[in-house]
């Protein structure tokens, strides 16, 4: 900083210009080169970001479509299973009713057989009394 101050206060115009060129080469030019490099990279960076943005937008769009498709498949599957379960429940109820009817029928037949056995035993007892 003191060198800049000294150069500015110098009366020698040639030395003043030489020192300004030296300061320019030492400080300004490297910084300008760095800025130029960044400017060159910026379009590349912007293009890369655009490419990534387009990729992400496509990915999100595809993901939404796939999610929607899977959601619809799941709903369809749930509805089908619900319908199948409802039919199974109805069939089970019918089977229980048939089982109750058959159980009642079996009880009637068992009672009828027991009644016949009782009647048969009574007849055999009557025949045995008559034979004696």
- Does this model's pTM top 0.95? My answer is no
At residue 104, the pLDDT reads 95
Residue spans of the chain under pLDDT 70: 1-4, 7-8, 10, 28, 31-32, 36-42, 132
Rounded to whole angstroms, the Cα distance separating 127 from 20 reads: 151
Q: How far is CA 48 from CA 17, 35, 61, 80, in A?
A: 44, 20, 20, 47
Give the per-residue pLDDT at 96.
97
The region, left, alpha or beta by phi > 0 then psi within -120 to 50, assigned to residue 18 is: alpha
Q: What is the pLDDT of residue 129?
A: 78
- Quote the pLDDT of residue 12: 72
SS3 content of the chain, % helix, strand, coil (to 5): 95, 0, 5
The pLDDT, as a whole number, for residue 40 is: 65
Q: Which residues contact 4 (CB under 8 A, 6 or more apart)?
A: 23
pLDDT, residue 114, reads: 93
pLDDT score of 38: 67
């Amino acid at each position: 900083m003191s060198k800049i101050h000294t150069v500015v206060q110098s009366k020698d115009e040639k030395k003043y210009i030489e020192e300004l060129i030296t300061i320019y080469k030492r400080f300004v030019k490297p910084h300008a080169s760095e800025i130029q490099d960044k400017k060159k990279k910026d379009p590349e960076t912007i293009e890369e970001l655009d490419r990534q943005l387009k990729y992400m937008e496509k990915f999100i769009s595809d993901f939404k479509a796939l999610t929607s498709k899977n959601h619809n498949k799941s709903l369809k599957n749930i509805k089908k299973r619900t319908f199948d379960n409802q039919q199974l429940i109805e069939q089970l109820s019918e089977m229980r009713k048939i089982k109750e009817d058959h159980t009642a029928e079996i009880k009637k037949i068992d009672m009828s057989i027991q009644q016949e056995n009782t009647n048969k035993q009574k007849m055999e007892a009557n025949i045995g009394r008559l034979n004696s």
